Structure 1
Amino acid sequence: MITMDDIIREGHPTLREVAKEVSLPPTEEDKKILNSLLDYVKNSQDPDTSKKYGLRPGIGLAAPQINVSKRMLAVHVKDNKGKLYSYALFNPKIISHSVETAYLTSGEGCLSVDRAVPGYVPRFSRITVKGWNVDGEEIKIRLRGIASIAFQHEIDHLNGIMFYDHIDQENPLQPIEGAVPIDR
């Protein structure tokens, strides 16, 4: 089981690397890692489990955050209508996206960042992601809102990008012109 001690923090060189593609079909070891990413996110959202193991709640986790520089991520989040998006993917790619952008009004946080970083992070409003599930089956998912933002945040980790790299350093809290504000 992944704990907070397994999650590397900003400044660690792995977080700035471009992660390697996972060979498909996946090995048993890669399947185990992918499943453990999803387990962490689910466990971190359960009040009893997160308290028992000292887990910081999160909605997504990428393999580089546990010092595994491979293209794997997990997202477990409900949208504002209560629809659950729970995915663990190998080699996820954004294959299309909207022109329209969006941002979280509360800003973004990260399990690898132990400080609050104020600022709005511009993201695509809608994306389509292609990846492979734990069984090596290709899947395509259309995402919007918080699920779209979570996937973009985690895919950034696979490319060595931190969420705060996107924040306007001059005016971090200036609403992003033409973008849809999303309350969370």
Structure 2
Amino acid sequence: MITMEDIVREGHPALRQKAEELSFPLSKEEVILAEEMLTFLRNSQDPEISEKYGLRAGVGLAAPQLAISKRMIALLIPGEYEDDSPELEQVMINPKIISHSVEGVCLKDGEGCLSVDREVPGFVVRHSRVTVSYQDTTGKTYKKRFKGYPAIVLQHEIDHLNGIMFYDYIDENEPFALDDDISVLG
């Protein structure tokens, strides 16, 4: 079971490396890793399990955050209401943004990261819509569009595969400055 002790923190070299593409078929270890990453996100969002194991709630996890330089991400975005099925529950292998909107968007409260143990105030402007190509663990290829919050989470996790941290986008001099055409999600 993945716990917070398995997640590397900022300053670890794995977080600044470009991760390696995976080839198919995946190894048994890679399939297990994919399942464990998704299980961590489920556990982190479960109040009882997260308290028992000291997990911080997460909606996304990238393999480099576990010091594994592979292009694999797991996403678990809860539905709008407690008893809804998740809005997005997926492991993506070799995800790639193939197109994006010109419009920008950011989260009102900024972004956080399981690999960052501090508050980093400021807006992180992202594309409001992205089209992503990726494979599932069997090697089947998909091309899907995402918008709003799921698009933000996806860009955050794909950045991890390229050695980019969310705070790299924050303007140090004016962390809360925004152009007029940027939407802010609450």
Counterparts of 1:140 and 1:11 in 2: how far apart (Å)?
33
1:181 aligns with 2:184: yes
Q: Distance in 1 between matches of 2:155 and 2:7?
A: 19
Q: Please name the residue that 1:41 is paired with.
A: 41
SS at match of 2:51: helix
Distance 2:181 2:172 in 1: 19
CA contact (8 A) 1:96 1:128 kept: yes
Q: Offset of 1:79 from its aligned partner?
A: 5.9
Q: Distance in 1 between matches of 2:13 and 2:136?
A: 27
Query: How many equivalent residue pairs?
Result: 183
Equivalent residue number for residue 165 of structure 2: 162
Runs of 4+ in 1 over 6 A off after TM superposition: none
- Provide closer, same or farther for how the CA distance between residues 2 and 176 of structure 1 changes in structure 2, counting only shifts above 3 A: farther
1:59–1:76 CA contact under 8 A, matched in 2: yes
Indicate the SS of the match to 2:90: strand
Unaligned runs of at least 5 residues, structure 1: none
TM value normalised by structure 2: 0.94
Q: 1:7 maps to what in 2? A: 7
The residue type equivalent to 2:117 in the other structure is D
Call closer, same or farther: CA 1:17–1:66 in 2, change over 3 Å: same
Q: Give the letter for the 1:90 counterpart.
A: I
Matched residue, 1:122: 125
CA separation of 1:173 and 1:79: change in aligned 2, threshold 3 A: farther
CA distance in 1: counterparts of 2:40 and 2:179, whole angstroms: 32
C-alpha separation between the residues in 2 aligned to 1:50 and 1:96?
A: 36
Superposed CA deviations along residues 43-75 of structure 1, whole A, max 9, x for unmatched, are: 100111111111110100000000001000011
CA shift, 1:136, in A, is 1.6
Structure 1: distance between partners of 2:53 and 2:142 = 32
Contact 1:79-1:147 within 8 A present in 2 as well: no
CA RMSD of aligned residues (A): 1.3
Aligned to 1:95: 98
More displaced, 71-80 or 29-38?
A: 71-80
Any idea what SS the aligned residue of 1:10 has?
coil
Question: TM-score, with normalisation over the residues of structure 1?
Answer: 0.95
- Whether 1:135 and 2:138 are equivalent positions in the alignment is yes
Give CA-to-partner distance per residue, 1:62-94, whole Å, 9 cap, x none: 000000010000111136586611110110001
**Relative to 1, partners in 2 of residues 1:80 and 1:171: Cα closer, same or farther, differing over 3 Å?**
farther
Q: Which amino acid aligns with 1:66?
A: L
